Amino acid sequence: MSLARRIIPCLDTDGSRVVKGVNFVGLRDAGDPAALASRYNAEGADELVVLDIAASRDRRPTFLETIRRVAAELAIPLTAGGGIRSLDDARSVIRAGADKITINTAAVERPELIRELSGEFGAQAVVVAIDAKLESESATPRWDVRIRGGRESAHLDALAWAQRAVELGAGEILLTSMDRDGTQSGFDVALTHAISTSVTVPVIASGGAKSPQHFAEIFSAGAADAALAASIFHDNVQSIRALKQFLASQSIEVRLPC
Amino acid sequence: MTSAAPIALIDYGAGNVPSVERALQKLGATCKRVTRPSELADARAVILPGVGHYAAIIRALDENHLRGALLDAITRGIPFLGICLGLQALYSASEEAATFAGLSLFPGSVHSLPASVKLPHMGWNRLRIQRNSQLLAGLGESDYFYFAHTYAASSASEEVVATCEHGATFSAVLEHNNIFATQFHPEKSGAAGARLLHNFVSLAA
């Protein structure tokens, strides 16, 4: 197989600045989105995700301007999300320069939104984000879907919801482990493997990354098609270039930057 | 590069028009978005970008009466570049929207990649080069390009200069006289994609 595994940095923004913090608590400024985008584009990132974690209506124009500024720096695909609840919301984000849109709570509340977006922009432009939390440690683990930034249960089984999202037209699943997010203890291999081997679309693993070994593990044992991380890249804890060189040395196919 | 007329970029609302425009501008090429047939009359080159559903590109070409003008421009011999759906539209039909007639510049139709692999074929992949081509000058089998598609054209035709593999071998780059096309998105393919666009712009000079 020669389709490369993807490394995707994620910029969580308050609309205009990149912010950091665990579970929306203790947010601190981590830089200018366009400057980080430019750096990641040059370092060999395969795609970029930019999220508006505040997603308030009055700050919408600010976020669209951020998308425009970020897109101008990139020669790689851009996914944008946060606060997309309608076709019109999605249109404005795509017109601002995003190639794909990501939706989370809005899709749980109204699954038909997935079908509408996929019909309008194509499945390849629709990334359904799922925040999953382990519910029981029984013989067959089950993950609950969390919404509103992880604060509420959607009372949905993550595996069933992922399959339903794909049926409705999702072209990709962005899967975040709420158990691992912010812990830097590694991606959730069991969760990612369970979902990735049960859906027909690519799965992006998220939550818990720190070391290059974590990435190697999520690609080999976790069957992830792509892996996403934020703070380890922003803080220069991990350079994308060095990460990819490590993965290549582990016989994992990646696009090495020139 | 000095260039009189700009490169015509057919704008029917496809999501990747601004990215293609930006990529060309970074190369120093002038381009203009074209929405009406008359605007194609004096173009020195034309690009048909596309992303999404096959029906959308065909419907847009017909509703804006661009089909005839585009075919005239290609017949006139000016360089043409189709991107993603812009490649698929060159064939007679697509399994994705069977009732929509393609441009039929090449025989055959576009089919889904097999369900034995994850679809869409999404991400960076490499080419298998079949023969020398102007579009791929300076590029090789170690370069990665960004793909985002489910349907693809057969690799078995003579216009195919490079193939790619995802569950099946399919056509990744076409080159036939003044007609060029890529299944991947050069405007999203980093330095390799920029080189390919540079090659096209040079042909259009």
Contacts of A255 in chain B (CB under 8 A): 124, 144
- Rounded to a whole number, what is the distance in Å from the CA of A8 to chain B's nearest CA? 11
Q: Which residues are paired to A81 by β-bridges?
A: A51, A102
Domains of chain B: 7-203 (3.40.50.880)
Provide block-wise average pLDDT over 10 residues at a time, chain A (258 residues): 92 91 66 96 97 83 96 97 95 94 97 96 96 86 93 96 98 97 95 98 97 98 97 90 97 88
Where does the pLDDT of residue B145 fall: very low under 50, low under 70, confident under 90, or very high at 90 and above?
A: very high
Where does the pLDDT of residue B1 fall: very low under 50, low under 70, confident under 90, or very high at 90 and above?
A: very low
- Rounded to a whole number, what is the distance in Å from the CA of B101 to chain A's nearest CA? 19
Please report, to the nearest 10 degrees, the dihedral formed by the alpha carbons of residues A126, A127, A128, A132 taken in order.
170
What's the confidence (pLDDT) of residue B188? 97
The H or E element containing residue A42 is helix A33-43
What's the confidence (pLDDT) of residue A55? 78
- Contacts of residue B153, Cβ cutoff 8 Å, sequence gap at least 6: B87, B88, B91, B106, B108, B110, B160, B170, B171, B174, B183
- Contacts of residue B3, Cβ cutoff 8 Å, sequence gap at least 6: B29, B30, B44, B204, B205
What's the confidence (pLDDT) of residue B157? 87
Mark yes or no for CB contact A201/B119 under 8 Å.
yes
Q: What is the mean pLDDT of residues B139-163?
A: 95
In a domain, A254, yes or no: no
The torsion angles phi and psi of B67, rounded to 5 degrees, stand at -55, -50
In a domain, A1, yes or no: no
What whole-number distance in Å separates Cα of residue A179 and Cα of residue A181? 6
Map residue A203 onto helix, strand or coil: strand
Q: What is the mean pLDDT of residues B42-52?
A: 92
Q: What is the pLDDT of residues B77-119, one digit of tens each?
A: 999 999 999 999 999 999 999 999 999 999 999 999 999 999 9
DSSP state of A125: G
DSSP state of A134: E
In a domain, A255, yes or no: no
Closest to B87 measured CA to CA, from B60, B117, B51: B51
- Contacts of residue B124, Cβ cutoff 8 Å, sequence gap at least 6: A3, A4, A6, A46, A255, B144, B145, B146, B147, B189
Q: Which residues are paired to A28 by β-bridges?
A: A20
Q: What is the pLDDT of residues A113-150, one digit of tens each?
A: 999 999 999 999 999 999 999 997 777 899 999 999 88
Closest to B108 measured CA to CA, from B160, B154, B152, B61: B154
Q: Which residue among the candidates B84, B111, B149, B164 is catalytic per the annotation? A: B84
Contacts of B188 in chain A (CB under 8 A): 75-77, 99
Q: What is the pLDDT of residues A8-39, one digit of tens each?
A: 999 999 999 999 865 555 677 878 999 999 99
Residue with tokens 């013989």: A139
CATH number for position A201: 3.20.20.70
Q: What pTM value is reported for the model?
A: 0.95
- Rounded to a whole number, what is the distance in Å from the CA of A217 to chain B's nearest CA? 20
What's the confidence (pLDDT) of residue A22? 57
In a domain, A256, yes or no: no
Is B141 an annotated catalytic residue? no
The torsion angles phi and psi of B114, rounded to 5 degrees, stand at -70, 150
Where does the pLDDT of residue B2 fall: very low under 50, low under 70, confident under 90, or very high at 90 and above?
A: very low
In a domain, A71, yes or no: yes
Tell me whether strands A18-22 and A25-31 are parallel, antiparallel or unpaired: antiparallel
What whole-number distance in Å separates Cα of residue B144 and Cα of residue B127? 8
Mark yes or no for CB contact A3/B166 under 8 Å.
yes
Interface test with A, best of B54, B96, B118 (most A CBs within 10 A): B118
Do B48 and B25 contact (CB within 8 A), yes or no?
A: no
The backbone region for B152, taken as left when phi is positive above 0, alpha when psi lies in -120 to 50, beta otherwise, is beta
In a domain, A258, yes or no: no
- Give the domain range for residue A142: 6-249
Q: How many domains in chain A?
A: 1
What whole-number distance in Å separates Cα of residue B200 and Cα of residue B41? 20
- Contacts of residue A39, Cβ cutoff 8 Å, sequence gap at least 6: none
- The runs of H, that is alpha helices, within A72-207 are 87-95, 105-109, 112-121, 158-168, 189-196
Q: What is the mean pLDDT of residues B162-175?
A: 97
Do B118 and A202 contact (CB within 8 A), yes or no?
A: yes
Map residue A47 onto helix, strand or coil: coil
DSSP letter for each residue of chain B: ---SSPEEEE-SS-TTHHHHHHHHHHTT--EEEE-SGGGGTT-S-EEE---S-HHHHHHHHHHTTHHHHHHHHHHHT--EEEETHHHHTTSSEEGGGTTS----SSSSEEEEPPTTS-SSEEEEEE-EE-S--STTTT--TT-EEEEEESEE-BTTSTTEEEEEESSSEEEEEEEETTEEEESS-GGGSHHHHHHHHHHHHHHT-
Q: What is the mean pLDDT of residues B26-55?
A: 93
In a domain, A257, yes or no: no
- Contacts of residue A15, Cβ cutoff 8 Å, sequence gap at least 6: A52, A54, A56, A59, A60, A62, A63, A66
pLDDT(B126) > 50? yes
